[in-house]
Chain A
Amino acid sequence: RKEVEQDPGPFNVPEGATVAFNCTYSNSASQSFFWYRQDCRKEPKLLMSVYSSGNEDGRFTAQLNRASQYISLLIRDSKLSDSATYLCVVNPPTSTSYGKLTFGQGTILTVHP
């Protein structure tokens, strides 16, 4: 089983749609969780951290389910500018892997007019 697994997509949605991505992770002792976005041939940029209680930033909502070991990202009212690859990122236990993040392969999202 991969350490971090994502549905690679692609997801093709119209503007204004709501889209959700899921991600599963294998190490139950993982410490912290993030969503990054990466535009074509650009660097990954932090979208949001993911907290146990769930958190929201504008049109974006992230959820963490530790019992089932999955993370989700919900995008509401999709914009053309949301088109990108979304990376699920997990921080393993610091005792075994200080600071080293594990990146999923990414989910490709295309928002069309």
Chain B
Amino acid sequence: NAGVTQTPKFQVLKTGQSMTLQCAQDMNHNSMYWYRQDPGMGLRLIYYSASEGTTDKGEVPNGYNVSRLNKREFSLRLESAAPSQTSVYFCASQTGGNQPQHFGDGTRLSIL
């Protein structure tokens, strides 16, 4: 039972490069989320998708874009990476509004 799968696990980029972080869930969940977590800090919501076909900004959306490709997949794109985007990125999914979220094991991204 894979749950939430994120790729890649690790990535090093140069400033100005672009990349897409992939997330897929096999639990038939409606909602999906992207967070970042910086050392010593809590989780901060970047974007979320309450259901297939919808996306909304979270707390820290600047510098990111997302695509809810289908019910299973929710990708996060960095168009022009900056050192301030060095972080651990977690994707999560949720079946409904009052339910807990289930997390992938993260993508560790370093931008030089």
**Chain A residues with a Cβ closer than 8 Å to the other chain, count:** 23
Give the nearest-CB partner of A91 in chain B.
Answer: B98
- The DSSP consensus for interface residues of chain A is loop
Inter-chain contact A106/B98, CB cutoff 8 Å: no
Q: Are B100 and A99 in contact (CB under 8 A)?
A: no
Q: Which of B90-106 contact A (CB under 8 A)?
A: 90, 94, 96-106
Question: Known contacts being A41-B88, A100-B45, A104-B42, is A46 close to B98, with CB within 8 Å?
Answer: no
Please state if B104 and A101 are interface contacts (CB–CB under 8 Å).
Answer: no
Number of contacts between A and B (CB, 8 Å)? Answer: 55
- Residues from 66 to 100 in A contacting B, C-beta threshold 8 Å: 87, 89, 91, 94, 98-100
Are B90 and A91 within 8 A (Cβ)?
A: no
Q: Kindly list chain B residues whose C-beta atoms are within 8 Å of the C-beta of A49.
A: 100
Contact across chains for A98 and B103 when beta carbons are under 8 A apart:
no
Could you tell me the distance in whole angstroms from the C-beta of A44 to the nearest C-beta in chain B? 5
A42 / chain B contacts, CB cutoff of 8 Å: 105-106
Q: Are B105 and A43 in contact (CB under 8 A)?
A: yes
**B88: A residues at CB distance < 8 A:** 41
B binding-site residues for A, Cβ under 8 Å: 31, 33, 41-43, 45, 48, 50, 58, 88, 90, 94, 96-106, 108
